Amino acid sequence: MKKKKKINPLVIIGIIAAVILVIVIGCQIFGINLFATLSGENAKIASSFSDVNELSSGKAYVWHHEGGNIEDDLSKKADSNIFFTCIKGDYNFKNQEMEMAVEHPRSIWISSDKDDSIPTVRKDDLLIYVSSTTVPDGIVFERFADYGYSIGVSNMIKDGGGHYYIEYAAVDEDDYKYSIDMNSDASQLSDLAVIERLYLDKVGNIKVREDNVSDGGTVLGLKKNKSYVCEFYTGTYYQDFKLTANIHMFSSLERFTSYEYEFMHSNFIVISIPDYFKSGYYFVNGAGLFRYVAEEDEATYNGEAYDEAIDWNDPIVVYNENGEVIEDPSDPNFVAPTTLEQSDPGIDIKTGSTSEQSNKTGTKEGNGT
């Protein structure tokens, strides 16, 4: 019986080294960044497609094809990408995308190197939704206010003295995750000792006060991608952090449900954009965010990820100072409340009677007021 020859370990090491060398040389020849690939840096999921068969279930897309026809694009692959994914970015309502009642204000954070991937819907574009299992009973549009670029902190609350803080661990030790974008450099704030409130007093030389804080509790007026020394306070102890204003900030504004869509003899439905929509950012059916540019704003829109010349936050549903809805174009049965202002009847100097008494004696309602 022949004895099996033992393989010299040095030979095995040599073979492995040779294989690695071949891979490295091959990557250099073909322009592949091996380190970036292994680390996941280049493992980016495609967000735009040229073929309808590449679309994934459970996602929303914008079809944009200048001079094209959707019917033609269903039967053949286009020469360029024409389907653009409604992206989600980072957000603080994961697994609650379709819920109305939530414990914390809803925020979306998208980094400045990714916000140009938010697709835009204009009058000639189509919003589509793909699902291999269900047809939505209703399409939910959650509109988000655009507050521009800031550090990755939102949902700040004003105290009685006009200072601003986030709830760091008021009820739960993870409360801060609803106010801090954990994929931004603001995530370093999570290393602080557990406290109930974390105050932010200054960003650079700017005092954080009511005039530079948005309704979404974000710091306004910062320059995109600029770094600032931010003065935080744990109790009365200051904590300086250098943070970058590279996060495009969005906060929930209003919510609508539509039932208008069309089947396309394909793998998706086309969702109709309601006529009453204004230019803004809409999170559609929990699938992702898109930018809608109303026809009257198309000439103004600069085509960039951020355009301060357009009011993206002009409310569709309007309330009065008492919190009553006075305008709601989304409800075809809406009737504006009629409130008559009540005041003291007053005395008629000439007759000595009240205006109320005058009305009772024959004065027509509305005359003389």
- The position carrying tokens 């999921």 is 45
Q: Please give the distance of CA 139 from its chain centroid, rounded to a whole number.
A: 17
Q: Cα Rg for the chain, rounded, in angstroms?
A: 29
In this prediction, residue 366 has a pLDDT band, given cuts at 50, 70 and 90, of: very low
Burial of 282 (0-12, 13-18, 19+ CB in 10 A): buried
pLDDT of residue 338: 80
Other CB atoms within 10 A of residue 190 CB? 12
Strand, helix or coil at 297?
helix
- Mean pLDDT score of the chain, rounded to an integer? 86
Sign of CA dihedral 81, 86, 90, 94: negative
> Tell me: the pLDDT tens digits for 265-322?
999 999 999 999 999 999 999 999 999 999 999 999 999 999 999 999 999 999 999 9
Beta strand pairing call for 126-130 and 268-271: antiparallel
Q: Which 3 state secondary structure label does DSSP give 6?
A: coil
User: Which pair of tokens denotes residue 235?
Assistant: 């109790």
Give the distance from CA 201 to its chain's centroid.
26
124 φ, ψ to 5°? -95, 0
User: How many angstroms separate the CA atoms of 183 and 16, rounded?
Assistant: 37
Residue 355: pLDDT band with limits 50, 70, 90:
very low
